[in-house]
Structure 1
Amino acid sequence: MSRKTNKICKQSGVIPYRVRDGKIEILLITTRKCQSWVIPKGGVCKGMTLPDSAAKEAWEEAGVVGQVNTEKIGVYQYCKGGNIYRVGLFLLPVEQVLENWTEATQRERIWLDINHAAMIVKENSLKRILQTSQNQVKI
């Protein structure tokens, strides 16, 4: 009998950050059902580059705007609904935090230092990327 292969879905996401008092803070958001803390991510929109699609997700899911760094800083995977999602990650220096945004009623957001953010996200590969991202942020 053959084993069912999971579909691999391509996504892009951002690590939104800001610098406050010389320290890097990462913005995390909740999943729609508020079960866990995650970074803004989603399916890659047809006709968009990975960074542009990631910027769109940041605006929709987290209500933040900025110029996404086009250099991918890592890739992580997670499973959901029998599928495997492979997320290409980019840094997003946040220039504007919106009070009203597309998913404002569905998500919460929180600014945390990198180590605390890495502790509360679920995926181990995302934890590692968060921890090493501080080396790529320009203060």
Structure 2
Amino acid sequence: MTGIALLTTALLFGGTTLYAFGFAAFVFTALPAETAGPLIRRAFPHFYLFVLGSAAVAGALAFVADPLSGWILLAIAATTVFARQVLMPAINAATDAGQGGRFKLLHGLSVALTLGHIVAAGFVLLRLSGML
């Protein structure tokens, strides 16, 4: 079970990192803003489902070997529900209403949450691999 939990956590870590630092940045540099914005808006619900699913599966699997890692991964899943169902619609509403300040605040919270997920998943990777 530990091996599968480790691989699933690695998928979460790598997928989240690639999306945050690769895909999203690439889209905004490769496409005009009027195209990039709607594309990212359509992609984020799927990204959050990926994070939610992989974190929940990894968390359930990790509990067997390391309950702390399991709880951390389940916390990632739970906060992803908040990000997808509350934070993302609020960011979209702020964008649509032209509320630049509100957008920056909410987007900053979203970025901080994603970075927290990456750090937490990295921590779990190290724990499950026996390096911590």
Structure 2-normalised TM-score?
0.30
Between Structure 1 and Structure 2, the one with more helix by share is 2
Normalized against structure 1, the TM-score is what? 0.29
Greater strand proportion: 1
